Structure 1
Amino acid sequence: MKALEWWRGAVIYQIYPRSFLDTNGDGVGDLPGIVQQLDYVASLGVDAIWISPFFTSPMADFGYDIADYRGVDPLFGTLADFDRLLAKAHALGLKVMIDQVLSHCSAEHAWFQESRASRDNPKADWFVWADARPDGAPPNNWLSLFGGVAWQWEPRRGQYYLHNFLPSQPDLNFHNPKVRRAQLDNVKFWLDRGVDGFRLDAINFCFHDAQLRDNPPKPAALRSGRGFSADNPYAFQYHWYNNTRPENLGFLEDLRTLMDRYPDVGALGEISSEDSLATTAEYCNDRRLHMGYSFELLTDDCSAAYLRATVEALEAKMQEGQPCWAISNHDVQRAVTRWGGGAADDALAVQLVALVCSLRGAVCLFQGEELGLPEAEVPFEALRDPYGKAFWPNFKGRDGCRTPMPWSNGANAGFSEGEPWLPVAAEHRALSVEAQQHDAASVLNATRAFLRWRKAQPALVHGDIRFADAPEPLLAFVRGHAGQRVLAVFNLSAQSVEWRAPAGAALLDAPGPLAASLDAGGVLHVPPRGAAFATLE
């Protein structure tokens, strides 16, 4: 069975379809655009693609508000286009994961349209409905992650409904077994179609506290992290009752039972809870999810001490299952800007790819990460993200990481012949695929070379991980598997650093980041943003 588990140690390339490649000139990327560029994706040396939602949707949250779980939105193409995508990816040796947004749907979904109509229709209990308090206020103090209360009044029923995200994203009532069965049937639809796995959006949000108890307040000093800013009122509470409920474990086990009926598939859960590392460890084992990732490396802290503490904390808790690490995705500022600031450069971009791909577990690389793209500046008048509009200017939303993929230096960077849905960042043109393709020293080709080399190092793909004591700004750890032990050392600063390597270390000729040297006295000389890979006796 181990040979079938493609997801162990896999590098997964995230495609945000709206911004990948537009083939029909409407300014929005589409499934045929993904098909057209799958050869490019395969050339990177990744193992799989994860495609963000392309399902039928009014696009209030750009596809994460699904109106039909089994339909392809005409904006992106057709179900036949998806079938062609799946066939070509498989022919290229790429696995295909798709998003599943199970905890909530669009207010335009037929389920919600029926449920909201009355209190006694067949789907009356498919969503989380509650009566107002005597003074007309919402039933409790729960807040939406996108700002404001998590309850919306529905006059047709004379009740409030729960929405952990936008008001147009009502939460499904997973306490109802019919809801759970319906969502498992939707998952089965795509498994039957041949997908290799799922990225499960907000998977710890499926169940709510049936008693609707208030969330307790959180001290001001603790209002940070987990993908939202400290000035968002969502950070003012401990979210003990509106998500991560114990009943969710049973649903994950039902989901795994379904998936185990299909060979060679995997589930990756997105987890954001009060203790995301503990929840990830709890959710990922041989009975629940195959992999899990959280926002712990999607924060601003890039110190060696923080990275070590985060990975070690998860390793200590996770006895089964596998982590999946990401430092960029469609919800956060791009890593070279977030961690490099004004000093972001090609060396940093290459180092970050090598670093995240050297940790234990699977890896998600976000489109453009292989080009070293910085965060784009999107003016307020061009913003599309409702999250950014609500919290501007303190938080500018997620549009800066979602701008179109730069394929060339031509009009609209080769993304579209029409007006792109978000403006193309001027600074991205010089970093286009076309500009980097034939430059051996480019971030793109350094990424390709490193991923090819990684595949030939069993310790980096499948090994365990043990950290070595090294002074800031060095991050050092050993990966071990089947007799191979590889020491990885990363200099996270813009200055050269020296460090005495363990006895018996022998440098490997690893491509990618600026390479370190090892002198006769056993001292590693690690250049700025550099790295060393060495075998150990």
Structure 2
Amino acid sequence: MNVMTSLNSAHALAGDTDWWRGGVIYQIYPRSFQDSSGNGIGDLKGITSRLPHIASLGVDAIWISPFFKSPMKDFGYDVSDYCDVDPMFGTLTDFDALVARAHDLGLRVMIDLVLSHTSDQHDWFKESRKSRDNSKSDWFVWSDPKPDGTPPNNWLSIFGGSAWQWDPRREQYFLHNFLTSQPDLNFHTPAVQSALLDATRFWLMRGVDGFRLDTINFYTHDAQLRDNPALPAEARNATIAPSVNPYNHQEHLYSKNQPENLDFLRKFRALLDEFPGSAAVGEVGDAQYGLDILGQYTQGDDYVHMCYAFEFLASAPLTATRIAEVFRHLDEKAPDGWACWAFSNHDVMRHVTRWDLTPKALRLFTTMLMCLRGSVCIYQGEELGLPEAEVPFEALQDPYGIEFWPEFKGRDGCRTPMVWEKSNQNGGFSQGLPWLPVSADHLHNSVSAQEETPDALLHHYRRAIALRQDHIALRKGAHSAPTATGNILQFTRSYGEQTLFCAFNLGDSAADLTLPTSALQPIAADLGGAQSTSRQITLDAWQPFIAILDQGE
């Protein structure tokens, strides 16, 4: 595909350069979406063939998890070449065709950029580790040992153990916040930043509409390599790492979240601004300071457009009180910031299982998500209500799960292949043996099965997304501070002359609700919303009430 053709297609989508504000983004985990070759691993051609399904949901964009060249020690999050496609997934020509087809369907394309670290097989690291004085000797974070030979400080890896790995070639340690095969880049070196920006430009020139920035707050480390302080037991939070991981025993003041990060993000945003309509969502991996960082990184127009929040990815039940607390904290720490919310992704247990949701509760959560202020990410299979799959130890692929089994079973349970057909033993995903087993429990939830069932969850997702797309107040509007009264969460969303009142009963029993005015026009009947116009109404268990405020009263 001609690059200019791609750019022209992207331009056709750029009528609303602010599309990301309130946009709905569909996350694709490419290994598990659709295999076109029969080798059991999803690929770019497979994604292209299934784009009509995604477009039918009414979403604004897709986010594709990494497909770059990689040894696949962490399934693509260990990049060995930022500017090429791993043969496992196809070719650059396949990617260009994917972008063109997506744009034809009105879908923007965002890709996952992993800038904080590379693979140890990247040419940059191969050169860096040769000596202390080569052209890339300072492109990664190297340090001499302490006099007793131990690592330079107490920093820990998310995947377990020290964040430092000894390298006999240089007789130094190198930093790795994740696997030992994922050395951290040194953002204090200007040439590193320039090289990463060049790689970003490469994809923008191919017609990409934006990026999901992996571990955005890990980019810069403390140049003095100071020890992280201990974190009191009562303050530990396992959103990022399982509770069995000692990573949670530290307050990560120096290994990430450094102020110098803002200087790089300013350069990154300036590059994106050269391509109107492009946008970036940064993944903030921090259990203690996530919303604080979100506020910093999305303030004004100098940094990223939005940040991927972890608050609704936790295992704790998502109650009305909890949601109100999150938004109170968000309004305090990031009054001008913009969050991107998700309930599920490729790193956490699927929310149907995590919160043990009934079908009615699942529908209510879906409707509510589309009414919250912020943008939204939904994860492949979420629209089918897929539960977490059981993957036996002998079939595990995730190094995280293998390391901490059985207390933590890893992330493979949310990464099993997408189910397209109810009759195929592999769910229509592949003609070969899938890289992870297809869950037998998933087959009855397949796309084809739900397409044939008018009241299936798949259709509910389409209606909930349409509700958001049809009301600008839900996409881009301000909100009143959400309040919780018992199990009822309520707030208003306003944009220009449009104001919507939203209330949700997040409980197993009926609850009474006093409406703020009688001048309300109930909507969302097709989402199970209450339709009463009385000031005093009763919401059934797991029922929403969404209404347009009559401005003429």
User: 1:276 maps to which residue?
Assistant: 290
Question: In 2, distance between residues paired with 1:45 and 1:2?
Answer: 17
Checking the alignment, whether the CA contact within 8 Å between 1:514 and 1:527 is kept in structure 2 is no
Deviations 1:58-92 (A, max 9, x none): 10110000000001001101100000000000011
User: 1:13 maps to which residue?
Assistant: 26
Which of 338, 363, 378 is equivalent to 2:376? Answer: 363
User: 1:117 maps to which residue?
Assistant: 130
Q: Which region of structure 1 is more displaced relative to structure 2, 219-228 or 239-248?
A: 219-228
Question: In 1, distance between residues paired with 2:266 and 2:187?
Answer: 14
Secondary structure class of the residue paired with 2:346: coil
Checking the alignment, whether the CA contact within 8 Å between 1:227 and 1:332 is kept in structure 2 is no
Which of 94, 101, 126 is equivalent to 2:139? Answer: 126
Secondary structure class of the residue paired with 2:311: coil
Q: CA RMSD in A?
A: 1.4
Checking the alignment, whether the CA contact within 8 Å between 2:32 and 2:416 is kept in structure 1 is yes
Secondary structure class of the residue paired with 2:82: strand
- How far does residue 517 in structure 1 lie from its aligned partner after superposition? 4.2
Checking the alignment, whether the CA contact within 8 Å between 2:309 and 2:339 is kept in structure 1 is no
Question: In 2, distance between residues paired with 1:245 and 1:372?
Answer: 38
Checking the alignment, whether the CA contact within 8 Å between 1:152 and 1:161 is kept in structure 2 is yes
The equivalences for 1:380-395 within 5 A come to 380-395=393-408
- How far does residue 425 in structure 1 lie from its aligned partner after superposition? 1.1
Which of 235, 244, 248 is equivalent to 2:257? Answer: 244
User: 1:444 maps to which residue?
Assistant: 458
- How far does residue 294 in structure 1 lie from its aligned partner after superposition? 2.3
- How far does residue 505 in structure 1 lie from its aligned partner after superposition? 4.9
Checking the alignment, whether the CA contact within 8 Å between 1:17 and 1:31 is kept in structure 2 is yes
Q: Which amino acid aligns with 2:326?
A: T
Checking the alignment, whether the CA contact within 8 Å between 1:447 and 1:512 is kept in structure 2 is no
Q: Which amino acid aligns with 2:348?
A: V
Question: In 1, distance between residues paired with 2:218 and 2:268?
Answer: 15
Aligned residue pairs: how many?
Answer: 533
User: 2:441 maps to which residue?
Assistant: 427
Q: Which amino acid aligns with 2:206?
A: R
Q: Which region of structure 1 is more displaced relative to structure 2, 315-324 or 284-293?
A: 315-324
Question: In 1, distance between residues paired with 2:151 and 2:519?
Answer: 63
Question: Is residue 2:333 matched to residue 1:320?
Answer: no
TM-score (ref. length: structure 1): 0.97
TM-score (ref. length: structure 2): 0.94
Question: In 1, distance between residues paired with 2:375 and 2:413?
Answer: 25
Which of 305, 308, 316 is equivalent to 1:290? Answer: 305
Secondary structure class of the residue paired with 1:430: helix
Question: In 2, distance between residues paired with 1:227 and 1:432?
Answer: 30
Q: Which runs of 5+ in 1 are unaligned?
A: none
Checking the alignment, whether the CA contact within 8 Å between 1:350 and 1:372 is kept in structure 2 is no
Change (3 A) 1:191 1:468: closer
Checking the alignment, whether the CA contact within 8 Å between 2:324 and 2:481 is kept in structure 1 is yes
Q: Which amino acid aligns with 2:310?
A: F
Question: In 2, distance between residues paired with 1:337 and 1:290?
Answer: 31
Q: Which region of structure 1 is more displaced relative to structure 2, 491-500 or 144-153?
A: 491-500
- How far does residue 519 in structure 1 lie from its aligned partner after superposition? 6.1
- How far does residue 511 in structure 1 lie from its aligned partner after superposition? 5.0
The equivalences for 1:374-523 within 5 A come to 374-409=387-422, 410-511=424-525, 513-518=527-532, 520=534, 522-523=535-536
The equivalences for 1:99-110 within 5 A come to 99-110=112-123
Secondary structure class of the residue paired with 2:500: strand
Checking the alignment, whether the CA contact within 8 Å between 2:417 and 2:437 is kept in structure 1 is yes
Secondary structure class of the residue paired with 1:305: helix
Question: Is residue 2:71 matched to residue 1:55?
Answer: no
- How far does residue 210 in structure 1 lie from its aligned partner after superposition? 0.6
Change (3 A) 1:353 1:378: same
Change (3 A) 1:412 1:511: farther
- How far does residue 203 in structure 1 lie from its aligned partner after superposition? 0.8
Q: Which amino acid aligns with 2:305?
A: H
- How far does residue 349 in structure 1 lie from its aligned partner after superposition? 2.4
Question: In 2, distance between residues paired with 1:489 and 1:435?
Answer: 32
Question: In 2, distance between residues paired with 1:394 and 1:287?
Answer: 42
Checking the alignment, whether the CA contact within 8 Å between 1:325 and 1:361 is kept in structure 2 is yes
Secondary structure class of the residue paired with 2:257: coil
Question: In 2, distance between residues paired with 1:230 and 1:389?
Answer: 15
Q: Which runs of 5+ in 2 are unaligned?
A: 1-13
Checking the alignment, whether the CA contact within 8 Å between 1:385 and 1:399 is kept in structure 2 is yes
- How far does residue 453 in structure 1 lie from its aligned partner after superposition? 2.5
The equivalences for 1:143-158 within 5 A come to 143-158=156-171
User: 1:45 maps to which residue?
Assistant: 58
Checking the alignment, whether the CA contact within 8 Å between 2:70 and 2:81 is kept in structure 1 is yes
- How far does residue 350 in structure 1 lie from its aligned partner after superposition? 2.0
Which of 315, 319, 336 is equivalent to 1:300? Answer: 315
- How far does residue 413 in structure 1 lie from its aligned partner after superposition? 0.6
Deviations 1:105-160 (A, max 9, x none): 00000000111111111111110000111111001000001111000010011010
Deviations 1:4-59 (A, max 9, x none): 22111100000000010001111110000110000110000000000000000010
Q: Which amino acid aligns with 2:329?
A: A
Checking the alignment, whether the CA contact within 8 Å between 1:513 and 1:529 is kept in structure 2 is no
User: 2:367 maps to which residue?
Assistant: 354
Secondary structure class of the residue paired with 2:211: strand
Q: Which amino acid aligns with 2:204?
A: L
Question: In 2, distance between residues paired with 1:492 and 1:201?
Answer: 32
Deviations 1:180-222 (A, max 9, x none): 1000100010011110000000011111111100000011111
Q: Which amino acid aligns with 1:240?
A: L
Q: Which amino acid aligns with 2:461?
A: T
- How far does residue 474 in structure 1 lie from its aligned partner after superposition? 1.4
Q: Which amino acid aligns with 2:381?
A: G
- How far does residue 525 in structure 1 lie from its aligned partner after superposition? 2.0
- How far does residue 506 in structure 1 lie from its aligned partner after superposition? 2.4
- How far does residue 297 in structure 1 lie from its aligned partner after superposition? 1.0
Question: In 2, distance between residues paired with 1:405 and 1:452?
Answer: 23
Q: Which region of structure 1 is more displaced relative to structure 2, 315-324 or 118-127?
A: 315-324
Q: Which amino acid aligns with 1:39?
A: P
User: 1:168 maps to which residue?
Assistant: 181
Checking the alignment, whether the CA contact within 8 Å between 2:327 and 2:481 is kept in structure 1 is no
Question: In 1, distance between residues paired with 2:482 and 2:78?
Answer: 44
Deviations 1:319-342 (A, max 9, x none): 434211111111101111112x2x
